[in-house]
Structure 1
Amino acid sequence: MTPRKTGEQRRAEIIETALLLAAELGPDRITAEAIANRLGISQPAIFKHFPRKGDIWDAVIDQLVQSLSRVWRESTTDKPPEQRLFALLDAHFAFIAAHPAVPLVLLSPELQARHPPLRQTIMRLMGLFHSELRQTISAGNTPPDNADQRAWMMLSLVQGIAIRWALSGHAFDIRAEGGALIRLADYSTVTDLARLRG
């Protein structure tokens, strides 16, 4: 007899399935019925853990915040300052490659329109990413003002690469191309800053 799953296990399963279906169908087309069918359970079983559909997306974003925060932190551990930025961004791209729904969920205007509270949670995640980038850049002896600007530039570039990767149907290696573009952009920025100081 299969052991009965705990509430925590079932919630985690629902969150994971929502992300998988978002990659397949698009986040705005996910329904409780689709999740229930994929898991082989009833819709009431979904609503037992998540009374509203928006609650599922709140849990998905919270899970992404926890997972990405851990990925960012672990990626820079024991790395010299000059390697931390690219290690952090490579780990971020690797996470996206392993979870293709991430760009679609975080940047879906339809999803945010249907579930307005998500916008604040997503903005909080962006703020955390920017803070992590800024701290990592500052560790390389970049002046505070420039570190802040470089962090926003990197965040915007990462978002653009992720959107293009998602819209292309994952037609390129996001880690390889993302890393190359990040290095090119950062080299140009650092060179321009050095020229301005000179």
Structure 2
Amino acid sequence: MTTKRTLSAEARRERTIEAVVELSAQDDPANITTGAIARHMRVTQGALFRHFPSKDAIWEAVIGWVGERVMQRLDAAATSAEADGPLAALEAMFHAHIAFIVEHPGVPRLMMGQLQHARPTPARRLVRTLLFRYRERVEQLLGQAQATGELRQGLDIEAAATQFIGTIQGLVMQTLMIGNVSHVARQARGAFELYCHGIHAAREVAP
């Protein structure tokens, strides 16, 4: 079994990131101190700062970790469903995002906490960049779906992308209020069906 003594510097950095994500599922990220992170990892604060020059650097690494993994997950899901059309790829993205939240319930708090930050920290800038990339991917798929006739003509793609993101955010907010992460998984399919109802091309009814 690998021990703390044999962990590489990169492994220690990743363990620190995982600790912050785990703690964020239990408490407001604004309340998480370097002391709390060190206690969770059972190391000293000095050991923590051997791998990160500052607390801001820890948060920047955490958001970078989240961004990389969530986009990898969503792109993989979309790619696997592309053969069935762009709307199917969009649905796969939606459910992959929900699954990521269920696996890492601290992530929504982390992201919202950074966006509410009063000063323009590196982590806050990373969150904004991630949201831009995410929205761009959603708009791309919506545009493709409209071009193939899956969506109603004249649909406002920007508004549809906003609603897609808002549907996920609404589910997340309900989960935070209820305190039960499984709620988001149970409601996801119905929420996406309602979303599709508003953007899908009208089907002709046979006489």
Query: Fold conserved (TM > 0.5)?
Result: yes
Q: Is the 8 A contact 1:22 1:101 kept in 2?
A: yes
Alpha-carbon shift at residue 163 of structure 1 (Å): 2.0
Amino acid in the other structure paired with 1:180: G
Asked if 1 retains the 8 angstrom alpha-carbon contact of 2:155 and 2:199, the reply is no
Q: CA deviation at 1:147?
A: 2.6
Tell me if structure 2 keeps the 8 A contact 1:23–1:101.
yes
* Equivalent of residue 200 in structure 2, options 180, 190, 193: 190
Deviation at 1:134, TM superposition (A): 1.2
In structure 2, what is the Cα distance between the partners aligned to 1:144 and 1:65? Answer: 32
Percent identity, aligned pairs only, is: 26
Partner residue, 1:74:
76
What CA distance in whole angstroms lies between the structure 2 residues aligned with 1:95 and 1:63? 13
1:160 aligned partner: 170
CA-CA distance at 1:183 after TM superposition: 1.6
Which amino acid is the alignment partner of residue 122 of structure 1? V
Q: Is the 8 A contact 1:17 1:35 kept in 2?
A: yes
Which amino acid is 2:40 matched to? R
Secondary structure of 1:24's counterpart equals coil
Give the letter for the 2:166 counterpart: S
C-alpha contact (below 8 Å) 2:114/2:127 kept by paired residues: no
Q: C-alpha distance in 2, partners of 1:175/1:91?
A: 11
Q: 1:163 to 1:4 in 2, by over 3 A?
A: same
Report how many aligned residue pairs link the two structures.
Answer: 193
Mapping for residues 2-81 of structure 1, pairs under 5 Å: 2=3, 3-79=5-81, 80-81=84-85
Task: Provide the C-alpha distance between the structure 1 equivalents of 2:171 and 2:63, rounded to a whole number of angstroms.
Answer: 20
Shift of 1:186: 2.4
Structure 1 Cα separation of the partners of residues 124 and 44 of structure 2: 29
- 1:133 pairs with one of 131, 135, 138: 138
- Gaps of at least 5 residues in structure 1 are none
Match of 1:83 among 75, 80, 88: 88
Instruction: Quote the offset at 1:77 in angstroms.
Output: 2.0
Which 10-residue stretch deviates more, 177-186 or 145-154?
Answer: 145-154
Equivalences for residues 82-121 of structure 1 within 5 A = 82-108=87-113, 112-113=117-118, 116-121=121-126
| C-alpha distance in 1 between matches for 2:115 and 2:158 | 30
TM-score, normalized by length of structure 1? 0.87
RMSD, matched Cα: 2.4
In structure 2, how many angstroms separate the alpha carbons of the residues matched to 1:114 and 1:42? 28
The answer on whether the counterparts of 2:102 and 2:182 sit within 8 Å (CA) in structure 1 is: no
AA partner of residue 147 (structure 1):
I
Structure 2 residues not aligned, in runs of 5+: 203-207
Deviations 1:104-123, CA, capped at 9 Å, x for gaps:
01112686236633322111
User: Structure 1 residues 14-23 or 143-152, which shifts more?
Assistant: 143-152
Tell me the CA shift for residue 54 of structure 1. 1.2
1:111-147 CA distances to partner (integer Å, 9 max, x unpaired)?
A: 6236633322111111111111112222322579733
Structure 1 segment 171-182 matched on structure 2, within 5 A: 172-182=182-192
The Cα of 1:149 is off from its aligned counterpart by: 2.3
Instruction: Give the counterpart letter for 2:127 in structure 1.
Output: I
Give the TM-score normalised by the residue count of structure 2: 0.83
Runs of 4+ in structure 1 over 4 Å off: 142-145
CA offsets 1:93-112 (integer angstroms, 9 cap, x no match): 00001000111011126862
